[in-house]
Amino acid sequence: MPSSNVIKHTKLHDEFLHECVKPFLVDHGFYPMTLAYHDLTPREGSGWHPRGYAHASECLREKTCPTSIFLKHSSDAIAVSKVADCSFMVEVKVTPEEQDSGNMAMEALPLLSHVEAWKWRGVRCLYVHWDESEKTHHGFWTSNVPYWDNVLIPIRNTKREKDWYVRLVRNLAPDHGVRFTTSNWGSGEPFMCIRERILKSVPDWRDLVAQESRNCEKAARQRPDRDQWVGRPIYDA
């Protein structure tokens, strides 16, 4: 069973996502759509496959094999423009009051995967951060990640898991160091921190969304008449 810290963190994350981030996206011309595995999995009592599938998300949460980790690394949501040929993924991070250190901590493997997706396929993801103690908002695109130093791997993982994490991190982030930590926070997966001194210069995610909204409106005005381009996709430059 998840610890009380994990339960509180999850509650704070979900409230911020559904009560703040999604409404802001709607107000700025985007349709938000949930992508997280724990929101997509039917819950108990849904009436579909009652003999086990309703517990799939809870079961998947405990798995540490490579495929399970990959599935859990999907972003929280996707934002689809109402007017332009534009969409992007959204990943939400929150820092609870009792965990506050002035830094932005996040799981390393999902971020590194999103950076790889941007480099190789042009897939865009917006990281959104809210600090409960400081009441501050930060955000960045995975095409422009703020500086971070080491990837930290909790020692509570098994030797097999730690060895695999080290190999994976060194493949995805060869220019960064790998260290072990006794931290008991979070899922137990490798994590990284954007330090407070760096975070102070990171913009507000709401400003990034507002700018993206203006870009979409501009693209929509410049788009040719659809009747001339039926069946032919038009992509932003």
Does 129 share its domain with 83?
yes
Calpha distance 32→11 (Å, rounded): 19
> Position 57: which residue type?
S
Does 152 share its domain with 57?
no
Question: Is 236 a domain residue?
Answer: no
Instruction: Tokens 């993206």: give the residue.
Output: 212
Whole-model pTM: value is 0.81
pLDDT at 212: 96
pLDDT at 190: 87
Does 53 share its domain with 25?
no
Calpha distance 40→156 (Å, rounded): 29
Does 31 share its domain with 46?
no
Instruction: Tokens 């097999």: give the residue.
Output: 160
| Average pLDDT per consecutive 10 residues, the chain (237 residues; last block may be shorter) | 66 92 96 73 46 61 70 82 92 84 86 90 94 92 91 85 86 85 75 90 97 92 58 44
Does 157 share its domain with 195?
yes
Which of these three, 21, 51, 71, is where a domain ends? 71
DSSP for the chain, written as a single string: ---HHHHHHHHHHHHHIIIIIHHHHHHTTEEEEE--HHHHSPPTTSSSSTTTGGGHHHHHHT--SHHHHHHHTS-SEEEEESSSS-EEEEEEEEE-GGG-SSSEEEEHHHHHHHHHHHHHH---EEEEEEETTTTEEEEEETTSPPP--EEEEETTS-HHHHHHHHHHHHHH-TTSEEEEE----TTSS-EEEE-HHHHTTSPPHHHHHHHHHHHHHHHHHHSPPGGGSTT------
Q: Considering only CA atoms, which of 199, 196, 155, 160 is closest in space to residue 178? A: 155
Question: Is 152 a domain residue?
Answer: yes
Which of these three, 49, 71, 93, is where a domain ends? 71
Inter-helix orientation angle 159-172/108-121, to 10° = 30
Does 115 share its domain with 60?
no
Question: Is 229 a domain residue?
Answer: no
Does 91 share its domain with 200?
yes
pLDDT at 82: 92
Tens of pLDDT along 66-98? 676 666 667 889 999 999 989 999 999 998 887
Does 90 share its domain with 166?
yes
Calpha distance 194→102 (Å, rounded): 9
Does 55 share its domain with 160?
no
Q: What are phi and psi of 80, to 5 degrees?
A: -115, 125
When divided into structural domains, the chain yields a total of 2
Owning domain of residue 172: 4-35+74-222
CATH number at residue 29: 3.40.1350.10
Does 10 share its domain with 64?
no
Which of these three, 20, 50, 71, is where a domain ends? 71
Question: Is 209 a domain residue?
Answer: yes
Question: Is 235 a domain residue?
Answer: no
Does 139 share its domain with 204?
yes
Does 24 share its domain with 130?
yes
Question: Is 227 a domain residue?
Answer: no
pLDDT at 109: 87
